[in-house]
Structure 1
Amino acid sequence: MGVEIDDPADVSELRGAPESFKRFVARTVEQLQAEEKCPGAAVGVTVQTLRTDGFAIGGVNACGGYEALWAQVDGTWKEVYGTQDSLDCAVLRRYRVPSDVAGDTCYDYKGKKEHSYHQA
Structure 2
Amino acid sequence: MSNLDTRRVIATDAALDLIAELRRDYGALLFHQSGGCCDGSSPMCYAVSDFMIGDADVLLGEIGGAPFYMSAAQFDYWRHTQLIIDVVPGRGGMFSLENGREKRFLTRSRLFTDAEAAAIE
TM score, norm. by length of structure 2: 0.29
TM score, norm. by length of structure 1: 0.29
- Between 1 and 2, higher relative CO (CA 8 Å, sep ≥ 6) is seen in 2
